[in-house]
Amino acid sequence: MTTKKAPNGTGIKRIRLLWSLFLKERSEPEPFYQALGAEAAFDLEKRYGIQGHRILDVGCGPGWYAEAMRKYGAAVLGIDGDMGVLTRAQPPISGLMLGDATLMAFPDNSFDGVFCSNMLEHTSSPSMVVDEIIRVLKPGGWGYLSWTNWYSPNGGHNMNPYQYLGPKWGPRLYEKRHGPPPDNRYGEGLFAVHIGSTLRMIRQRTDISITRIEPRYWPWARFIIAIPGLREFFTWNCVIRFNRRN
């Protein structure tokens, strides 16, 4: 299935829709992530033509992104480290498996594309995840890497807005006042991932070519990425697009 129309509209219409769904994301996650999945799949189809592509969704969660990409004819596998999350959709989405993103059970050069959305902040070893993503990509294959940076408005997840006190004091004060969060406790399921240090890590690699870095929800404001400090607070969610070198 292909379409030339952006699935969530454009401009103010798109922002209003995503914002309204985001406000209910904690209690009703499916509509929000299905909307993001439709948008991501549309974008990937437009950029790469994913019909027939073998794609790995790293940190796939319940599989809503995988399901969206399959509508464009892609063959998508998904891995996640949490069995409870993998089976959250009802009925559960097929083609998903329990796995460690820092040590994936796939041969080298296995996939035409690797999609990794909002997963880096949930691992203590982002560089190892990136190593594995690049290892399983075919030469010339594309990678999509996005994460919620720590000082963004949603960087603390359940602890918002305590993240603005920093990763040392913010979680401590939150837990002192409120107790441990229901999930994504800092140091266990949530980690501070910053844009500056992540870009330095990615740019040091010689086995990929970076094609674009931008804020996920407002790509027109990609100039923010070049401004240290400002980017940490206003990007909200950073996307790095790259290709593995031949």
Q: Which pLDDT tens digits describe the chain residue by residue (246 residues)?
A: 455 788 888 888 888 988 898 888 888 888 888 999 999 999 999 999 999 999 999 999 999 999 999 999 999 999 999 998 999 888 899 999 999 999 999 999 999 999 999 999 999 999 999 999 999 999 999 999 999 999 999 999 999 999 999 999 999 999 999 999 999 999 999 999 999 999 999 999 999 999 999 999 999 999 999 999 999 999 999 999 999 998
**C-alpha 161 chain-centroid distance:** 21
Q: Does residue 172 form part of some domain?
A: no
**Calpha distance 115→100 (Å, rounded):** 15
Q: Does residue 178 form part of some domain?
A: no
Closest CA to 234 of 213, 215, 220, 207: 215
The CATH number of the domain holding residue 128 is 3.40.50.150
Q: Does residue 174 form part of some domain?
A: no
Amino acid 193: pLDDT: 98
Amino acid 14: pLDDT: 86
Q: What are phi and psi of 205, to 5 degrees?
A: -75, 140
Amino acid 3: pLDDT: 55
DSSP E strands: which ranges in 74-160?
A: 75-80, 96-98, 111-117, 137-147
DSSP E strands: which ranges in 111-187?
A: 111-117, 137-147
**Calpha distance 14→173 (Å, rounded):** 36
Amino acid 222: pLDDT: 96
Q: Note whether 184 and 154 are within 8 A (CB).
A: no
Q: Does residue 166 form part of some domain?
A: no
Amino acid 205: pLDDT: 96
CA distances to 10, 89, 181, 188, 216 from 61, in Å: 26, 9, 19, 17, 19
Amino acid 19: pLDDT: 85
Q: Does residue 167 form part of some domain?
A: no
Q: Specify the length of the chain in residues.
A: 246
Amino acid 12: pLDDT: 86
Q: Does residue 93 form part of some domain?
A: yes
Q: Does residue 207 form part of some domain?
A: yes
Q: How many CA atoms lie within 13 A of 54 on its CB side?
A: 8
Q: Does residue 164 form part of some domain?
A: no
Q: Which domain holds residue 228?
A: 11-149+193-244
Q: Note whether 151 and 193 are within 8 A (CB).
A: no
Total number of domains in the chain: 1
Amino acid identity, position 133: I
